[in-house]
Amino acid sequence: DADLADEQPFNATKPLEHGAAARTPHTGEAYAASTPLATASTSTDNVASPKVGAGTPHLGDNALNSSLDRVRADDTEQRLTTNQAVPVSSNQDALKIGLRGPIALEDFVMREKITHFDHERIPERVVHARGSAAHGYFESYQDLCQLSRAAPFAHAGKRTPVFVRFSTATGERGSPDTARDVRGFAVKFYTDEGNWDLVANNIPVFFIQDPMKFPDVAHAIKPEPHHGMPQASSAHDTFWDFASLSPEITHMLMWIMSDRAIPRSYRMMQGFGVHTFKLINAKGDVRLCKFHWTPLQGTHSLVWDEAFKLRGVDADYHRRDLWQAIEAGNFPEYELGLQVFTEEEAATFPFDILDPTKLIPEELIPLFPVGKLVLNRNPDNFFAETEQVAFCTQHIIPGIDFSNDPILQGRNHSYPDTQITRLGGPNFHEIPINAPLAEVHNNQREGFHRQTINRGRVNYEPNSLAGGCPFQAGRAGFVSVPDAVIGNKLRGKPELFADHYSQARLFWISQSGPEQAHIIDAFRFELTRVETLAIRVRMVAGLVNVDATLARAVAAGLGIAVPPPLPLATTLPLPVYAPSPALSLLYRPGVAGIRTRQVAILVASGTDGALARAIYTALLEGGAVPRLVGQRLGQVSSLDGQPLHVEITVEASPSVVYDAMVLPGGDDGPIALGRDPRVIDFVREQYRHGKPILAIGTGAAVLAQAAIPQTLPDGCDDPGIVHASASLAAQALQRFKTALARHRTFARETDPPTV
Ligand code: HDD
CA of 414 relative to ligand 1 center, distance in Å: 8
Q: Whose C-alpha lies nearest to ligand 1, atom 4?
A: 411
464 in a domain, yes or no? Answer: no
Q: Is 62 in the pocket of ligand 1 (CB under 6 A)?
A: no
Q: Give the number of domains in the chain.
A: 4
Q: Which domain holds residue 654?
A: 598-748
> Tell me, what amino acid is at 732?
A
CA of 199 to the centre of ligand 1 (A): 7
Q: Classify residue 746 by burial, with Cβ atoms within 10 Å: 0-12, 13-18, 19+.
A: middle
Q: Got the DSSP string for 156-214? A: TT-EEEEEEEEEESSS-TTS-TTSSS-EEEEEEEEETTEEEEEEEESSSS-S-SSGGGH
Number of the ligand 1 atom closest to the C-alpha atom of 414: 44
Ligand 1 contact, 126 CB (< 6 A): yes
164 lies in some domain:
yes
Burial annotation 104-138 (CB, 10 A radius, 16+ → b, else e): eeeeebbeebeeeeeeeeeeebebbbbbbbbbbbb
Tell me the three state secondary structure of residue 239.
Answer: helix
Compute, in angstroms, the gap from residue 222 CA to the centroid of ligand 1.
14
Q: Which residues pair with 196 in a beta bridge?
A: 189
**Alpha carbon of 639 to ligand 1 centroid (Å):** 57
- The reply to whether 622 and 564 lie within a common domain is no
On whether ipTM exceeds 0.90, the answer is yes
Residues 560 and 603 in one domain: no
For the CA of 356, the nearest atom of ligand 1: 24
Residues 355, 316 share a domain: yes
| Dihedral, 624, 628, 629, 634 alpha carbons, nearest 10 | -150
Ligand 1 atom nearest to CA at 201: 22
Ligand 1 atom nearest the C-alpha of 183 is: 11
Residue closest to 396 by CA, chosen among 547, 135, 189: 189
Does any ligand 1 atom lie closer than 6 A to the CB of residue 165? yes
> From the candidates 11, 62, 195, 201, which is the catalytic residue?
201
The per-residue DSSP string of 522-551 comes to: HHHHHHHT---HHHHHHHHHHHHTT-HHHH
The response to whether residue 416 sits with its C-beta less than 6 Å from ligand 1 reads: no
Residues of the chain predicted below pLDDT 50: 1-15, 22-62
CATH number at residue 214: 2.40.180.10
Is 112 a domain residue? no
In a domain, 714, yes or no: yes
Q: Which of 389, 445, 443 has the alpha carbon at shortest distance from 418? A: 389
* Pair 548, 412 in one domain: no
CA distance 249 to 561: 23
Instruction: Please say if 128 is a catalytic residue.
Output: yes
Ligand 1 near 356 CB (within 6 A): yes
The alpha carbon of 201 and the centre of ligand 1 are apart by a number of angstroms equal to: 9
Atom of ligand 1 nearest to the CA of 167: 15
Q: For residue 544, give the nearest of 579, 501, 503 by alpha carbon.
A: 501
- What's the angle, vertex CA 190, arms to CA 188 and CA 191, rounded to 5? 125
| Residue 406 and residue 514 share a domain | no
Residues 693, 617 within the same domain: yes
What is the spatial distance between Cα 89 and Cα 75, in angstroms, rounded to a whole number?
Answer: 16
Distance from C-alpha of 266 to C-alpha of 261, rounded to nearest angstrom:
11
Residues 679 and 537 in one domain: no
Check residue 670 and give its pLDDT.
86
Whether ligand 1 lies within 6 angstroms of the CB of 418 is answered as yes
- Name the closest-CA residue to atom 40, ligand 1: 125
**Is the C-beta atom of 414 inside 6 A of ligand 1?**
yes
Are 668 and 696 in contact by the 8 Å Cβ rule? The answer is no
> 608 with 732, same domain?
yes
647: CATH? 3.40.50.880
Domain boundary residue, one of 587, 620, 654: 587
Residue 296 lies in a domain: yes
In a domain, 706, yes or no: yes
CA dist list (Å): 537 to 224, 529, 545, 568: 21, 13, 13, 17
pTM of the shown model: 0.92
Q: Considering the domain boundaries, does residue 253 fall inside one? A: no
What pLDDT does 71 receive? Answer: 81
Distance 241 CA to ligand 1 centre (A): 22
CB 682 within 8 A of CB 661: yes
The residue among 559, 587, 615 that closes a domain is 587
- Are the CB atoms for 113 and 88 separated by under 8 Å? no
Element (H, E) at 139: strand 130-140
Pocket-testing residue among 181, 187, 199, 291, ligand 1, by greatest number of atoms within 8 A of Cβ: 199
- Residue whose C-alpha is closest to residue 588's, from 299, 376, 188: 299
Hey, whose CA ends up nearest to atom 26 of ligand 1? 411
Q: Does a structural domain hold residue 98?
A: no
Which of residues 552, 587, 622 is at a domain's end? 587
**Mutational test site, ligand 1, from 125, 221, 412, max ligand atoms within 8 Å of CB:** 125
CA 550, distance to chain mean position in Å, is 29
Sign of the torsion angle spanned by Cα atoms 277, 280, 286, 290: negative
Q: Is 627 in the pocket of ligand 1 (CB under 6 A)?
A: no
Ligand 1 atom having least distance to the Cα of 131:
15
Residue 200 has a pLDDT of 98
Residue tagged active-site, from 65, 128, 300, 378: 128
CA 417 – ligand 1 centroid, Å: 11
Q: 217 CB less than 6 Å from ligand 1? A: no
Q: Which residue from 124, 197, 391 has its CB within 8 A of the most atoms of ligand 1, so it is best to mutate?
A: 391
Does one domain contain both 5 and 26? Answer: yes
Q: Are residues 518 and 618 in the same domain?
A: no
Residue 415 alpha carbon to ligand 1 centre in Å: 7
Statement to judge: residues 604 and 524 lie in one domain: no
For residue 544 and ligand 1, the question of a CB distance below 6 A is answered with no
- Give me ligand 1 centre to Cα 397, in Å: 19
Query: 616-636 burial string, b = 16+ CB within 10 Å, else e?
Result: bebbeebbbbbbbbbbeeeeb
Closest CA to ligand 1's atom 11: 184
Residues 579 and 602 in one domain: no
> Which atom of ligand 1 lies nearest, measured to the CA of 208?
30
Assess whether 219 carries a catalytic annotation.
no
